[in-house]
Amino acid sequence: MNSLLPPHVELERQALTCPLGIRFVDDALRRPIGGLRVEAYPENKPWQRVSAVETRSNVYGFHGLPGLRDFENRTDDEARWILESPLSPRTFVVEVQDPEGRFLPSRFLAEAPARVETLRESESPAGQAALRTETLYSSPSRLTPSGCAVLRAQLFELGGRGGREQAASWALGEVSTSVGYPALTAVGAADEQGRLTIFFLYPEPTSVSTGSPPQGTPQLLSDQLWPLSFRAWHSFRSETAGWLNLDDVRTLLQQQPVIVSEDDLSPPTPFSGADLFFGRELVVPVRQPGDSRLRQLFLSKAV
């Protein structure tokens, strides 16, 4: 039986490709973050900023980036990526803000278009890079997440600039301990005023007996402590653009840590860590009773 329907003719085809997608991860809980305000613009052209759209899987995708509209609307998908195109990757500044104040305002550079592998492509050699993921660092105003410990510190540059006390803006701090399993390492960033906040999951208790009957004399969980080591990194640059530069974070963490001291006396008192107690906020340096000095840490360049 012959069909009376006319043959199929493609009259028009439309396609839309996202040239840049990014996922952001919580520094403390290692989970994707939703509810952010993400914008991108070409370098030195902030008036051409474009807002990202958040998907249900917390991926922030961009459409309408300057100079990429023809790329987005090409109908041959493979031609976008495989065939040579006059559209070479362009560099954009990406800025991230959290309306809820949980994370520090951050920025970084990203190239677009940037292809990521799909589920079908990931099983073949033709698959490209994975989705770009950036870590955001907690702000001092963030409430402590359930089950997390917190270390807080006020960081200053030793000697300051021109002899004045100067906040160590956007400095990095790291806490670690080898007690318990697995070993703990957590990194945080200070805000523009040098206020450092590091949230991290509690290490495994080491002196609390869980057997039945208990072995020996078990220690109360509230008395459990872990010795924490502390290190810091700082660029000692004068500009504080109001944003944490995530590209600088990656560079700083590959350099030698700076010297950390508890005071600005001569010679200064070195600071390398403190004890964390379960259920207690740790503010460093820890002062002894009767010590009225402000709790501050000072950073100086390593020799």
Residues 9-24 pLDDT 10s: 665 656 667 888 999 9
- With H, G, I as helix, E, B as strand and everything else as coil, classify residue 73: helix
For 221, list phi and psi in degrees, rounded to 5.
-60, -35
pTM confidence score: 0.83
Is the per-residue pLDDT at 174 higher than 50?
yes
Q: What is the CATH number of domain 20-136?
A: 2.60.40
C-alpha to C-alpha distance for 274 and 283, rounded to whole angstroms = 9
Please state, for a pLDDT cut of 90, what percent of the chain lies above it: 51
Q: What is the pLDDT of residue 70?
A: 75
Q: What is the pLDDT of residue 203?
A: 86
* Least confident span in 36-40, 124-128, 145-149, 237-241: 124-128
Q: What is the pLDDT of residue 122?
A: 44
The residue that leads in pLDDT, 131 or 266, is 131
Encoded tokens for 145: 């997440």
Confidence bin at 131 (pLDDT 50/70/90): confident
Ranges of beta strands (E only) in the chain are 20-26, 37-42, 50-51, 53-54, 59-62, 90-97, 106-112, 132-136, 148-161, 164-167, 172-177, 184-189, 195-201, 225-233, 244-245, 259-261, 273-277, 282-284, 297-300
How many helices, marked H, and strands, marked E, lie in the chain? 3, 19
Largest CA-CA distance found in the chain, in angstroms, rounded? 100
Confidence bin at 160 (pLDDT 50/70/90): low
Cβ within 8 Å of residue 59, ≥6 positions away:
21, 22, 23, 131
Q: Delimit the domains of the chain by residue range.
A: 20-136, 148-300
Q: Mean pLDDT over residues 271-279, rounded?
A: 91
Q: Mean pLDDT over residues 277-288, rounded?
A: 89
Is the per-residue pLDDT at 189 higher than 50?
yes
Q: Mean pLDDT over residues 131-149, rounded?
A: 94
Q: Mean pLDDT over residues 61-88, rounded?
A: 70
Q: Mean pLDDT over residues 256-283, rounded?
A: 89
C-alpha to C-alpha distance for 270 and 293, rounded to whole angstroms = 16
